[in-house]
């Protein structure tokens, strides 16, 4: 049987695999990429939200756009991508077997990069096999790739970034999210993601888990219960919800089976076995590398950087670049990766309760326990100011790696500083012109524009709005607070949409002056807010 040979074989055409292949191909390496799916890009094309980070990390750019850019770059550098190709074997001699159609083919690589990503975890409860119990990734696929609602009334389990992001996207797709639970006592993901859902009226149930998926042939409801420190359900705390779908976002496990099969040294983690990797993804077997979630679960931005680091290392390993060039490139990429691993959500802080920000400001306990910052807590943060004229109010309350708002303001009203995780502050000495670029650029939708006394006793608040159908100027509806509860009636003053806003519309609402610091969402009179 003929064995085809390549400089570099990449297993997985997701963000890490494509990035590695591109980086190596730029140096003259001849890579081939195999993926079992019908289209390349991995999870990127399901990620319709804007990314965090800085310019180098493609901050404020939506994941699907980043996927399109990666594919174009791969084509530019002649990266060969083979789809519907399942790699079923990886051997220490850097040979793989691939099932394409009904045949098994053999390929030999001078180097192998494994970028197979991760699989969704499941939890077992009564009725967990009923139709209607799905993973968050499956829900994303249905909504964002196939434009199908996963259900009408959905209960979400999991408050990490995946659960929060998918929960918001379910709302955007016109689904009703009847509740969000997590067995942990605190929200696990970014507070700005939780705040987006809370102000839409979704209740959070921390220290709760699913007891039962109710139904005979399919899900018709869900029963949850409160758990104690021992993670056992406390009798008498059961709560029932009508629901046709239970969405699970309970973590990911690296798909590291091929690396284990090849004989790479592995280590056990809470998320499952991962390969022991040195710098740039080198495994214990010379010439075999790992990048992306298969080597440890992180965000897609980190996966792309780790992929490029592996690609640079492989180019040097194969002799296409010298050691000095490789070291400089990997150092540059390592600095970019390091910025994403700073702040309250850094790897060393996982699972810890952080009570103060880097600036010494108390973290909102209401946010951690209920999904929203309390009205009496919000004023403590440097981005929250009251001043004459129109000005931004930045409700970013955690040290997360993100700074596009600083560059978005043409007048320099917003400053973050050298550290990407610093809380943004408003420079009162600079004049805001109300362009709204900061509101549209914020990946966490945490920036608002405030102006008092537009009319006697009435001001305007401008909020980010990513729902359809769009309200129209002159419409009257209900203004909701940070916790999703109605606070007053609001009249739509104007709606702004622009290509520069990248599908984040700006909704300006007229409300009483004393409501300007409370109003954070708008609901039409009919209660609509979805696709």
270: Cβ contacts below 8 Å, ≥ 6 apart: none
pLDDT in tens, 121-179: 999 999 999 999 999 999 999 999 999 999 999 999 999 999 999 999 999 999 999 99
391 contacts 413 by C-beta, under 8 angstroms: yes
State the chain's mean pLDDT as an integer.
93
Q: Which residue is it, tokens 């640079």? A: 312
* Cα(68)–Cα(108) distance, integer angstroms: 29
**CA dihedral defined by 74, 78, 82, 88, rounded to 10 degrees?**
-90
Closest among 526, 451, 440, 518 to 479, alpha carbons compared: 518
**Is residue 65 predicted with pLDDT exceeding 70?**
yes
**Res 18 pLDDT > 70:** yes
* pLDDT score of 531: 33
Nearest-angstrom CA–CA distance, 153 and 176: 5
Confidence of residue 343 (pLDDT cuts 50, 70, 90): confident
Q: What is the pLDDT confidence band of residue 70, given thresholds at 50, 70 and 90?
A: very high
Residue 528 pLDDT more than 70? no
Given a contact cutoff of 8 angstroms between Cβ atoms, the answer to whether 519 and 480 are in contact is yes
Would you state the pLDDT for residue 474? Answer: 96
Checking if the pLDDT of 1 tops 60, the result is no
- Of 227 and 342, the structure prediction assigns the larger pLDDT to 227
Query: What is the distance, to the nearest Å, from the Cα of residue 527 to the centroid of all Cα atoms in its chain?
Result: 27
Confidence of residue 297 (pLDDT cuts 50, 70, 90): confident
* The pLDDT value given to residue 526: 59
- Report the predicted TM-score, pTM, of the whole model to 2 decimal places: 0.94
The predicted-structure confidence for 382-439, as pLDDT tens digits, reads as follows: 999 988 899 999 999 999 999 888 888 899 999 987 789 999 999 988 999 999 999 9
Tell me: pLDDT of 529 over 60.
Answer: no
Where in 218-265 does DSSP place strands (E)? Answer: 221-226, 239-242, 245-248, 252-254
* Per-residue pLDDT at 417: 78
The most confident of 56-60, 71-75, 297-301, by mean pLDDT: 71-75
Residue 513 pLDDT class (50, 70, 90 cuts): very high
**225-255 residues labelled b (16+ CB within 10 A) or e (exposed):** bbbeeeeebeeeeeeebebbbbbbbbbbbbb
Give dist(CA 523, CA 292) in Å, integer. Answer: 40
Phi, psi of 36, deg, nearest 5: -80, -10
Share of the chain above pLDDT 70, in %: 98
Q: How large is the C-alpha radius of gyration of the chain?
A: 24
* pLDDT above 80 (res 54): no
> In DSSP terms, which residues pair with 245 in a beta bridge?
154
pLDDT in tens, 437-460: 999 999 999 999 999 999 999 999
> Among 244-258, 326-340, 486-500, 511-525, whose mean pLDDT is lowest?
326-340
User: Which pLDDT band, with edges at 50, 70 and 90, does 530 fall under?
Assistant: very low
**Residue 445, token pair as written in the block:** 């939708």
**Cα separation values, 339 from 48, 53, 250, 445, Å:** 23, 8, 26, 21
């Amino acid at each position: 049987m003929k064995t085809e040979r390549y400089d570099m074989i990449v297993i997985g055409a997701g963000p890490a695999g494509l990035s590695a292949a591109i980086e190596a191909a730029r140096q003259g390496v001849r890579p081939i990429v195999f993926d079992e799916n019908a289209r390349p890009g991995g999870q990127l094309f399901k990620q319709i939200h804007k990314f965090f980070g800085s310019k180098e990390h493609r901050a404020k750019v939506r994941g699907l756009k980043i996927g399109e850019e990666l594919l174009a770059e791969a084509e530019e550098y002649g990266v060969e991508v083979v789809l519907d190709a399942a790699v079923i074997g990886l051997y220490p001699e850097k040979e793989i077997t691939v099932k394409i159609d009904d045949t098994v083919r053999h390929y030999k690589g001078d180097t192998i990069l494994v970028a197979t990503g991760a699989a969704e975890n499941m939890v077992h409860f009564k009725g967990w096999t009923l139709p209607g119990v799905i993973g968050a990734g499956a829900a994303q696929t249905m909504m964002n790739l196939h434009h199908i609602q996963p259900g009408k009334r959905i209960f979400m389990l999991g408050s990490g970034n995946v659960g929060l992001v998918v929960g918001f996207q379910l709302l955007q797709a016109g689904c009703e999210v009847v509740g969000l639970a997590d067995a942990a006592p605190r929200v696990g993901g970014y507070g700005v993601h939780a705040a987006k859902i809370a102000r839409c009226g979704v209740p959070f149930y921390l220290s709760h888990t699913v007891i039962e998926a109710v139904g005979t042939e399919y899900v018709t409801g869900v029963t949850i219960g409160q758990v104690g420190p021992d993670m056992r359900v406390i009798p008498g705390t059961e709560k029932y919800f009508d629901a046709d779908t239970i969405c699970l976002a309970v973590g990911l496990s690296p798909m590291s089976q091929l690396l284990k099969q090849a004989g790479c040294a592995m280590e056990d983690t809470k998320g499952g076995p991962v390969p022991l990797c040195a710098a740039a993804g080198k495994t214990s077997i010379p010439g075999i590398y790992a990048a992306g979630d298969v080597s440890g679960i992180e965000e897609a931005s980190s996966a792309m950087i780790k992929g490029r680091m592996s690609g640079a290392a492989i180019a040097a390993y194969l002799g296409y670049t010298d050691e000095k060039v490789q070291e400089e490139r990997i150092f540059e990429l390592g600095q970019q990766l390091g910025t994403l691993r700073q702040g309250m959500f850094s790897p060393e802080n996982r699972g810890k309760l952080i009570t103060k920000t880097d600036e010494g400001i108390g973290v909102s306990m209401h946010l951690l326990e209920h999904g929203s910052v309390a009205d009496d807590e919000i004023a403590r943060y440097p981005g929250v100011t009251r001043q004459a004229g129109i000005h931004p109010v930045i409700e970013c309350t955690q040290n997360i790696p993100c700074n596009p708002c600083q560059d978005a303001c043409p007048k320099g009203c917003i400053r973050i500083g050298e550290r990407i995780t610093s809380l943004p502050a408003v420079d009162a000495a600079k004049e805001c012109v109300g362009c709204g670029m900061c509101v549209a650029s914020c990946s966490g939708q945490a920036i608002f524009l405030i102006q008092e006394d537009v009319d006697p006793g009435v001001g305007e608040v401008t909020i980010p709005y990513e729902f359809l159908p769009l309200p129209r100027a002159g419409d009257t509806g209900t203004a909701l607070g940070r916790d999703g509860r109605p606070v007053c009636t609001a009249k739509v003053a104007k709606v702004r949409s622009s290509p520069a806003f990248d599908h984040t519309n700006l909704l300006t609402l007229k409300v009483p002056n004393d409501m300007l610091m409370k109003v954070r969402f708008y609901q039409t009179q009919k209660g609509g807010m979805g696709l």
